[in-house]
Structure 1
Amino acid sequence: MRVVFMGTPDFAVSALESLCESDFIDLVGVVSQPDRRRGRGQKVKPTPVKKEAVKRGIEVFQPKKVSTPEGIDKLKEWNPDLIVVVAYGQILKKEVLDLPQYGCVNIHASLLPKYRGAAPIHRAIINGEKKTGVTTMLMDEGMDTGDAILMEEVEIGKEDTVGSLHDKLAELGADLIVKTLKAIDEGSASYQKQDDAKATYADKISKAEGEIDWSKGAIEIWNLIRGMNPWPGAYTYYKGDLLKLWESEVYNKTKEEEGANPGNVVKVEDDLGIVIQTGKGQLLLTKVQPASKQRMSAADYLRGYKINKGNRLGKA
């Protein structure tokens, strides 16, 4: 089977590796987003997918828009039987979707039709889901609305962040895409229409969503902190200065909340962290990052920054 791979970020690399190592697949080309300036030095860097493809000696095409005459001509030159799309970052027009014999197959990081859209991993954790998964889907012109082919679920652990769940789902998707293409190649693939009535959407995450509203409950805030780690990061303020919050725990060891307002420090655990009153319950902050500093344990933070019971986190 002749396959073209379209992908850009780290999430797509595992799938690319799996396809390269599958003996029934002839990976004839890779399409990725153009190289862009990244990092503090703003140096032009290749996308993670391009970097992996170049390492493996695969031809890479990086158009600003793939659904243009130039892009279509390149795809026709490669003459794929199927196109695999994983977090490519561009909307594909019908002419691209219809070009391969077997269409375009996408790996989506949710159990469709739940969490269609740009940020399914973030939203699953923020919303307190206990499970999520990966779906392979025959793409159509809608937003993650195509027929589902294979699906596999995974539990979301209490220790999971966006970073750890991202890695789990990337590996799961890498395995599932090979199974999917094998089934298509053998003619045994089953295509199931999604139930649009059950669809939910995972809108793109904004940095502003990371600001903590201490009037919300401890569990909701704990989920938000996990769902913003490692990007874009949850945050609050202490004495007017930004304080990023990376790790926390729901805290059930004190009854000192009586009379405490949301955002107030109700206890300082020198070896553990800072206990904050929320709108419902308390939260122990265990890993934080002051402005212009590296991430650190809350215990280390307390050694360098004075914070006492009764102090308040949040904007004045």
Structure 2
Amino acid sequence: MIRPLKIVFMGTPDFAVPPLQALHDSPHEVLAVVTQPDRPKGRGRKLTPPPVKQTALACGYPVLQPETVRTEAFHRQLAELAPDLFVVVAFGQILPQRLLDIPPQGAINVHASLLPRYRGAAPIQWAIINGDRETGVTTMMMDKGMDTGDILLVEKTAIGPDDTAADLHDRLSDMGARTLVRTLEKLQDGSLERTAQDHARATHAPMLKKKDGEIDWSMPAERIECLIRGMTPWPGAFTFSDGMRLKIFKACVLERDISVPPGTILECFPGELRVATGHSALAVQEIQGASGKRLPIDDFLCGCRLPDGACLG
């Protein structure tokens, strides 16, 4: 009979919760869960535990929350647990080689892209922003690089025309949980194969900042529509009208010849907002203005008129 693996799990955000739950439901033993420290959140800046911590406590696991994983004390703490394996899912800190050397079976990472594409912190968002038709999850053996280790298993999924980053996040998180379980099964029965990444094909997915969501109306309408979906729910795609910040959640491409500057509001029927772009036009369908409410465009325009010919941006 194959002995269950003794695992230290490392993860922080919602994306890492289904993989942790999958381990909890498996025969493997989770010795401890490592996650980021509690952080202030919301308008009241209340100290809030990360989602993985909440799940770990509900499962009865010991929780470790180091400010940095590079201290001697933390290294000693993990070594004393004597794990067979680390499992890492969106943890948020880079593990030094001396930590990766602790478990004899190494460290397995679940990454939300088809490596070597989109190494880095925001692979889900950048796949949509760049107009990719397909993405997936990859399990890999970790090394000291940023998502550079050998590939283990890959599972793919199509990116639908209406998929937002939120939609894809949830789908890939569940997919990552399933792929992790399959990876551990293959590790145990000796059938797990490793494939070196082709580093020449690597692309990167840097962490997003709020300013990355500002719409450049000189881009083609298709690219702007992808940006809107990739930026939803965070940091959000936005533009300005006379200094008022407008957050756009949903739009569709209108194929038409444009002879006015990008960002110009086009003449259209009441209850519609069509905007010229660098190529074709964009029909805005859901928007949020100064009221702070996300609204269908016809409801928004009832209370906030944006005149034809005005320029956004």
- Give the TM-score band, short-chain normalised: over 0.9
Residue 225 of structure 1, CA deviation: 0.6
Matched, 1:5 2:5: no
Q: Distance in 1 between matches of 2:138 and 2:305?
A: 48
243, 253, 257: which one pairs with 1:250? 253
Give the letter aligned to residue 8 of structure 2: V
Do 1:104 and 1:139's aligned partners in 2 also have CA atoms closer than 8 Å? yes
Q: Distance in 1 between matches of 2:199 and 2:280?
A: 37
Matched, 1:154 2:153: no
Q: Distance in 2 between matches of 1:213 and 1:267?
A: 20
Partner of 1:298: 297
Do 1:236 and 1:244's aligned partners in 2 also have CA atoms closer than 8 Å? yes
Comparing 204-213 and 216-225, the one that deviates more: 204-213
Residue 270 of structure 1, CA deviation: 3.6
Q: Distance in 1 between matches of 2:69 and 2:279?
A: 49
Residue 260 of structure 1, CA deviation: 2.1
Partner of 1:285: 284
After superposition, the C-alpha distances for 1:134-191 in whole angstroms (9 at most, x for unaligned) are 0000000111100000001110001101111011110100000011011111111101
Partner of 1:138: 141
Residue 306 of structure 1, CA deviation: 1.2
SS of the counterpart of 2:125? helix
Comparing 305-314 and 79-88, the one that deviates more: 305-314
Q: Distance in 1 between matches of 2:267 and 2:81?
A: 64
Comparing 287-296 and 50-59, the one that deviates more: 287-296
Matches within 5 A, 1:1-316: 1-23=5-27, 25-252=28-255, 258-271=258-271, 273-314=272-313
SS of the counterpart of 1:202? coil
Give the letter aligned to residue 140 of structure 1: D
Comparing 195-204 and 127-136, the one that deviates more: 195-204
Paired residues, what number?
Answer: 309
Residue 268 of structure 1, CA deviation: 3.6
SS of the counterpart of 2:76? helix
Percent identity, aligned pairs only?
47
Do 2:258 and 2:279's aligned partners in 1 also have CA atoms closer than 8 Å? no
Do 1:214 and 1:262's aligned partners in 2 also have CA atoms closer than 8 Å? yes
Give the letter aligned to residue 67 of structure 1: R
Q: Which runs of 4+ in 1 moved over 3 A?
A: 267-271
Q: Distance in 1 between matches of 2:291 and 2:61?
A: 41
Give the letter aligned to residue 208 of structure 1: K
TM-score relative to the length of structure 2 = 0.96
TM-score relative to the length of structure 1 = 0.95
How large is the RMSD of aligned CA atoms in angstroms? 1.2
Give the letter aligned to residue 23 of structure 2: L
Do 1:269 and 1:275's aligned partners in 2 also have CA atoms closer than 8 Å? no
